[in-house]
Structure 1
Amino acid sequence: MAKNNTAKFFVLDTNVLLHDPSCLFRFEEHDIYLPMITLEELDNNKKGVSEVSRNARQTSRYLEEIMGDSTIDIANGCPLSSATNPHVSGSLFLQTDPVDFELPMLAGSIADNQILNIVLNLKKKLPKREVILVSKDINIRIKGRALGIVVQDYFNDKVMGDTELLYSGYKELPEDFWEKHSKAMESWQEEGRMFYKLTGPLCSDFLINEFVFYDYDKPFHAIVKKIEGDSATLQIVQDFTLSKSNVWGINSRNKEQNFALNLLLDPNVDFVTLLGQAGTGKTLLTLAAALEQVLDKKIYSEIIMTRVTISVGEDIGFLPGTEEEKMAPWMGALEDNLDVLNKSDDEAGAWGRAATQDLIQSRIKIKSLNFMRGRTFLKKFLIIDEAQNLTPKQMKTLITRAGPGTKVVCLGNIAQIDTPYLTEGSSGLTYVVDRFKGWGHNGHVTLMRGERSRLADYATETL
């Protein structure tokens, strides 16, 4: 194991490999060590169709690819560098010798404790190198610190450390904005919409499809359509707070909801992400816009709705019935919002509302995420609810299902993540918000104000 002493020696817990198989190529010039118990746990998790099982199999394939020729001396390490990962200069080491268990205060039969014992053994064998345990498991990190081991979370999957810095989709303009940006201003109308071309220092910081608002003496709400150096073309947003501009009987109640409806109803925006706390109107606005474009404007052929099936409490076991019947308990939010939309038409009467309800049900399909791989959706309005529980890899799988004429809308609240080992910084929803910002066919809005009820708003603030 002779190696440059400045290169660190990372021991990987199994959960890191099961979370991100490509982590083997994320440590650059540093070395990686895998205990034998980690390989055993990979083998135990390889069967099945879950994301964990797929990742276990992919990790095993990567390991075989790295080890390559059977004549290589594993004790001296296998180079991690390859044609696809030339930037990696570290080596992979596997446990080749048995290690006596020397932690009497811990149970030796538990895998986590065996890994801790191996790390302590490596610290003794390699006194001149920094040995670090990397794990997504908080408890093993706590035990490791108690034993004097340097431990770290796996950070490479995180899009950003502080989600407070996450792109919100809109920007407030300063009070002196017009003084600095109106000298060479141009304005015109096109297809009934008002456009402004401004030049000034703030224009270069704008992003395509980012909303800008000025809430001083003369309120101004617009969306950025084009950026050329220090110039930006802004389009005045449509005002959905007015009763005559309602969308399936729904009006926006604040500026963020109005921004969201502008994106949801824009056929040139193929991908929309809406973040917000409970009760901010994410699902209701999306369904209203979807029904408007499927039933009235006929831009899309049908609505497809899916979500991650993770229980808040204990699992109630297997559910009987077809795919839609199995998904029905998870779609309570859909039913609640459809009731609101159906009751918004006061003139239809009971028979009219019943007929509308049947029509709506025929155009909404509920699909399970388990059967999305390999599918292509043509001219569909795809809604992914509870998207904060998806990993970046799962998110990519879903978004790449979109065929020509399909719009994808992701809804979620990154403060309510139920998936193990997924955090606000590593969620697939955070990942796509950050990666898609600035693309001409993408839009994002973070909804701030709860509009469900005064009770729900107070609970959100105080509990």
Structure 2
Amino acid sequence: MNKIFVLDTNVLLHDPNALFAFADNEVVIPAVVLEEIDSKKRNADEIGRNARSVSRLLDGLREQGHLHSGVPLPTGGTLKVELNHRSFAKVQEMFGDMSNDNRIIAVALNYSLEQQDQEHPKTTVLVSKDVLVRVKADVLGLLTEDYLSDHTVRSGDELYSGHVTLFVHPAVIDEFYTYRYLLIKHLTIKVQLNPHEFVILKDEMGTSKSALLKVNAEGTKLEPLYLSNDPVWGITARNAQQRMALELLLNDDIPLVTMSGKAGTGKTLVALASGLLKVEDERKYKKLLIGRPVVPMGKDIGYLPGEKEEKLRPWMQPIYDNLEFLFDTKKAGDIEKILVGMSNIQVEALTYIRGRSIPGQFIIIDEAQNLSKHEVKTIVSRVGEGSKIVLMGDPEQIDHPYLDSASNGLTYLVERFKTQGISGHITLEKGERSKLAQLAADLL
């Protein structure tokens, strides 16, 4: 053991298994962290669930010995609940206020100062997902880290896009148009391609010759897209990525589809159009179920009056906006009348999905970037036989306090399923809402 990791509350509320993520080093939990976790344990949300999980894990470790003295961890390290390093004098000189954050910083600082007097000092690191805590600790000369063990990718830029452009000899493109397929192992360019990944072939000589292909479910060959560019419920693909999205959405052999992209790229619209085609026209699925997490942007508007449908309406308004466009409604209230008459379309909050089994339905989950890994697992594991589920969102627009572009549920799902033949992913890049919306997404 050559390091001491002092954990902030937000690390454990984000991932209870963080207790075991520091190999054979010493893990320290300040006493104030236990107080904060105790205050969250009655919450009915994901944070409350994680607080209760941490409590159970600590109770289990307590059987190994006294937590204030240190107990062994399965990883080879030790866990200790701090009781003797609470001196606030050093931190108070700099920041004054005795807040919980400052008390946690004080614990890490006192450990660091104590180690400087040891013959073989250990490096003390404060681990926090709070940027300002890390900044304040850095001002005091402490080493700090974000908690990254649960990151599927190192940054949002490394998220799997679902498509790739390859520059090849024109003879390769001619071979595809002749035989209508290409074996991946025969490509001169060695690149890792995943099932249902899209490939744009371009002429390396610089001509306009090109081809749009898709990897088959087995990941062995490139095949043409099966769908033409015909309108889907009045919606026609405006760019290559939207056409790729429709290819995945309308393929009944792909039960899991994920889409990411900036605001205005058409994620929700193409998903709803595809769902309506499959449910209303083709009768492939019994019902279209549309849900999104209830996570506010900015200050929460509090409790809302009325029945469940009236309470949900402000949260689900983006869904209704797209449905109004697809149904071409003329007056306010028309979409409600249409949905009442069409009992096979249901708009629901994800709050009510736990415990359900959902067979034979086309399921759309919007704003999935605001879901944790556990919530995504809960949702996808609800999918019954004969259902198709679509999850979409923008990993760069997260309103959840403990998630970021590399640790949210959507990113986690994309990276875990990208090699599976039953799933497909596409990142939409070009905004189609308006020139202003595209500029705002790019410049702001």
Q: Does 1:160 align with 2:147?
A: no
Conservation of the 8 A alpha-carbon contact between 2:173 and 2:210: no
Query: Partner residue of 2:50?
Result: 55
- Provide, for residues 346-393 of structure 1, a one-character-per-residue CA deviation record: whole Å limited to 9, x for no partner: xxx99xx98993477422212222222111101111111111111111
Q: Number of residue pairs matched?
A: 431
Task: Check if 1:384 corresponds to 2:392.
Answer: no
CA shift, 1:177, in A, is 6.4
Task: Name the SS of the counterpart of 1:326 in structure 2.
Answer: helix
How far does residue 235 in structure 1 lie from its aligned partner after superposition? Answer: 2.1
One of 219, 242, 245 as aligned partner of 2:210 = 219
Which residues in structure 2 correspond to 1:437-448 (within 5 Å)? Answer: 437-448=418-429
Which residue of structure 1 aligns with residue 59 of structure 2?
64
1:375–1:123: structure 2 CA closer, same or farther, 3 Å change rule?
same
* Matches of 2:287 and 2:217, distance apart in 1: 31
Find the residue that maps to 2:325 and give its secondary structure.
helix
> Is 1:364 paired with 2:336?
no
Deviation at 1:247, TM superposition (A): 1.0
Match for 1:213: what amino acid?
I
1:52 shift after superposition:
0.8
2:20 matched residue in structure 1: 25
The answer as to 2:132 corresponding to 1:139 is yes
2:122 maps to amino acid: R
Confirm whether residue 257 of structure 1 aligns to residue 242 of structure 2.
yes
Is 1:97 the equivalent of 2:84? yes
Shift of 1:125: 2.6
Whether the aligned pair in 1 keeps the contact of 2:170 and 2:209 (CA below 8 Å) is no
Give the residue type in structure 2 aligned to 1:173.
L
Does structure 2 retain, via aligned residues, the 8 Å contact 1:240–1:252? no
Report the CA distance between 1:221 and its aligned residue: 1.2
In structure 1, runs of 5+ residues without a counterpart are 82-87, 189-193
Secondary structure of the equivalent of 1:173? strand
> 2:289 — aligned with what?
304
* Shift in CA distance, 424/388, structure 1 to aligned 2, threshold 3 Å: same
How far does the alpha carbon of each residue in 1:401-458 deviate from its partner, in whole angstroms, 9 at most, with x for none?
1011111101101121111121111111111111110211101111111111222223
- State the match for 2:103 in structure 1: 114
Residue from 422, 431, 442 that aligns with 1:450: 431
Is the CA contact 1:169–1:445 (under 8 Å) kept in the aligned structure 2? yes
Paired with 2:113 and 2:209, the residues of 1 have a C-alpha distance of: 70
Q: How does 1:151-230 map to 2 (within 5 A)?
A: 151-176=144-169, 178-179=171-172, 182=175, 195-197=181-183, 199-202=186-189, 205-216=192-203, 217-225=208-216
- Counterpart residue type for residue 363 of structure 1: N
Distance 2:341 2:96 in 1: 58
Look up the SS of the partner of 2:36 in the other structure: helix
Task: For 1:427, give the aligned amino acid.
Answer: N
What's 1:85 paired with? none
Residue 163 of structure 1 deviates from its aligned partner by 2.1
Question: Which of the numbers 215, 224, 236 marks the counterpart of 1:236?
Answer: 224
- Correspondences of 1:377-456 after superposition (within 5 Å): 377-456=358-437
C-alpha separation between the residues in 2 aligned to 1:41 and 1:58?
14
Q: Is the 8 A contact 1:323 1:367 kept in 2?
A: no
Deviation sequence 1:191-234 (CA, Å, 0-9, x none): xxx54445224466221101111244433111111557xxx322
Aligned to 1:209, the other structure's residue is in SS state coil
Q: Look up the match of 2:31.
A: 36
Letter in 2 for 1:162: S
Q: Residues 101 and 108 of structure 1 are in contact (CA less than 8 Å); yes or no, is this contact kept in structure 2?
A: no
Task: Give the whole-Å Cα distance in 1 for the aligned partners of 2:124 and 2:336.
Answer: 68
Looking at structure 2, the residues matched to 75 and 57 of structure 1 have their Cα atoms a distance apart, in angstroms, of: 20
**SS of corresponding position for 1:141:** helix
Q: Match of 1:252, SS?
A: coil
Local SS of the residue matching 2:375: helix
- Aligned partner of 2:225: which letter? V
Residues 1:338 and 2:323 are matched in the alignment: yes
Classify the secondary structure of the residue corresponding to 2:343: helix
Q: Tell me the distance in 2 between the aligned counterparts of 1:270 and 1:48.
A: 33
- The 2-side partners of 1:401 and 1:355 are apart by 27
Per-residue deviation at 1:312? 2.0
Of 14, 39, 56, the residue aligned with 2:9 is: 14
Residue 220 of structure 1 aligns with an amino acid whose one-letter code is: A
Q: What root-mean-square deviation, in Å, do the aligned CA atoms of Structure 1 and Structure 2 show?
A: 2.5
1:238-272 per-position Cα deviation (integer Å, ceiling 9, x unaligned): 4543xxx2211111111111110010000010111
Alpha-carbon distance in structure 2 between the residues aligned to 1:205 and 1:461: 29
**1:288 CA displacement:** 0.7
- 1:459 alignment partner, SS class: helix
Q: Give the whole-Å Cα distance in 2 for the aligned partners of 1:50 and 1:358.
A: 30
| Structure-2-length-normalised TM-score | 0.90
Q: What's 1:283 paired with?
A: 268
Q: Distance in 2 between matches of 1:175 and 1:203?
A: 11
4+ long deviations beyond 6 Å: 185-188, 353-356
Identity of aligned residues (%): 37
Amino acid at match of 1:398: I
| Counterpart-to-counterpart distance in 1, 2:347 and 2:149 | 34
Change over 3 Å in CA distance of 1:126–1:181 after alignment to 2: farther
CA contact (8 A) 1:387 1:410 kept: yes
What are structure 2's unaligned runs of at least 5 residues?
Answer: none
In the aligned structure 2, how far is the partner of 1:374 from the partner of 1:202? Answer: 47
Residue identity opposite 2:426 in structure 1: V
Residue by residue, what CA displacement relative to the aligned partner does 1:162-195 show, whole Å, maximum 9, x if unpaired? 222211111112132645995xx7976xxxxx54
